[in-house]
Each structure stands twice: as C-alpha cells, then as structure tokens.
Amino acid sequence: MTRSRDAVSMPLVVGVLGLGLGAGLVVVGGRVMLSRQAALARRRIGKPLGENALDADRIWRRGNEGDPVELLVLGDSIAAGLGAQRRKDTLGARIAKGLARRTRRPVRLRTAAVVGAESSVLEAQLDGLPDDYRPEVAVVVTGGNDVTHRVPVATSVRHLEAAIRRLRARGAGVVVGTCPDLGALRPVPQPLRTLGSRLSRQLADAQAEAAERAGARAVSLRHAVGPFFVTQPDEMFSLDRFHPSALGYRRTAEALLPAVVGALEERAAVSRR
C-alpha cells in the first residue's frame, strides 16, 4: 500500500500558525517563536517508527461460530495502527478481537487506512475497495493531519461526511472516532501545543455534528481516552511520543467498541424489518 505524508513530519507550525494568523492571534515575534518551537518538536519526534503500519488484516477469532463480521477501518496513521509493535495491538485488530468477543462471531478485518492521510484521502480509500465488498460496520479515525496541514474545518468535514454517506450506501454501520486532542503531545512546546489543542477540538466538534447528520455514531476520543494520554504519556504513547502504544490502542479500541457493537446491532435490526 502506498503511504502518503505522515503527521510526524510535524508541519504543525504551518497549519496552526497559519490559522492563528488568520484569526489575528499572533504577531511577527510570535511567528518566529512558534517556528522555532515546531523545529524543536520535529527534532524531538523524528521518525523512529518509519511510515508503515503492521498488516493486521485477517480473520480474528476463527474458532467462533457463524460467518465472519466484515469490519472496515479507514483513516490515518492511528486507524492504520502505526506505533503498534505486534499486529494484534493495532487499532483494527483490537476492535476486531473485542467485537468477536461481544458477538461470538469471527471478524474479518480489512484496513484501508493510510499513514499520513487527511480526510480528503477517504475517497481514495473507498475507491480502492472491491465493488462487491459490503462491510457490516466501518470505523473511521481521521483529523490530526487535517489540523497539522492547515485543512479548513469545513473542507475536512465535507470529505468525512461524503465518506460516511458512501459507507452507509454500502449498507455499513459507521463509527467515527473524532480528532484526538493534539494538546496531549508533550514534545510540542507551549504555546504551539495550546493552539494545536484548540484547533483539534474545533475539528472534533464539527466531525461529531457531521457524523450525526450522515447517520453515523461519533465517539469523542478527546473525552474518552485523551485524559489517559495526558496523565500517562510514557505508557500511552509509542517510541515517537506521537502515535499510540499498544496500551494506547487498547484504550482507544475500548472507547470505540460500544459504538461499533451498537452500529452493528442497529444494522441487523434494520435488516430484519
């Protein structure tokens, strides 16, 4: 799979500073300071994980009875599971295993997420699926790269909503994990971190509204798992201190799982009518 730009390249100063200037939040002196802080963040983070997530696509819990649940995961590096050292610890695998336990059915995971993807790439991820593929439930996690690459909220949300509607047209229940709080990234100095936090929260709120309009369920990752990343950074982040660790993905999957089960059950109920 071809990998696009990764958020660990940290063009955060471009996105955050550009939006900040548009709102009249900083002056020339502040711009210089934020530029230096972004350079510092890039040095601190680097790219120790490379740009490829582990391939976790397979049928999980084959010993369960019944046909496999078709689970699709779309989005960015978090959705792809970058940072996990074992495929069973990726976000998709964690959700698949949890879903298999809850449904007592095997789960076939398909990951279309791409490291570094913005919300605009969701269309290409869907285009790459076989025409006859019909996921029963889909999980979408995106937004961090939209913030760091200065994508307007309205543009980002438009792409997300279009992807949800396409998934719904395929018959899938859809769950959206909204943009994580970039304020949890300790390698990013202040006040750059605060600006990133504000912008990511704005996007997350808009994503939740778009998900509801399009018939999806939204899970606020900032509320559900954000506090863990703030209070336990050494355990929740991977080597680059930017992407989740195995524990970070476990917590994130646990936060998403109830909505995933609910979306699957709702889909089944509609099919029985």
Residues annotated as part of the active site: 77, 240, 243
CA 35/CA 144 separation, integer angstroms: 19
Q: Determine the 3-state secondary structure of 136 from DSSP.
A: coil
Contacts of 81 (CB under 8 A, 6+ apart): 53, 54, 56, 87, 89, 90, 91, 92, 93, 111, 113, 249
Q: Quick one: the chain helix, strand, coil %, rounded to 5? A: 55, 10, 35
CA 262/CA 18 separation, integer angstroms: 39
CB 174 within 8 A of CB 140: yes
User: What tokens were used for 201?
Assistant: 């929260």
CB 218 within 8 A of CB 173: no
Q: Which residue has the tokens 């899938």?
A: 172
* Phi, psi (deg, nearest 5) at residue 218: -110, 140
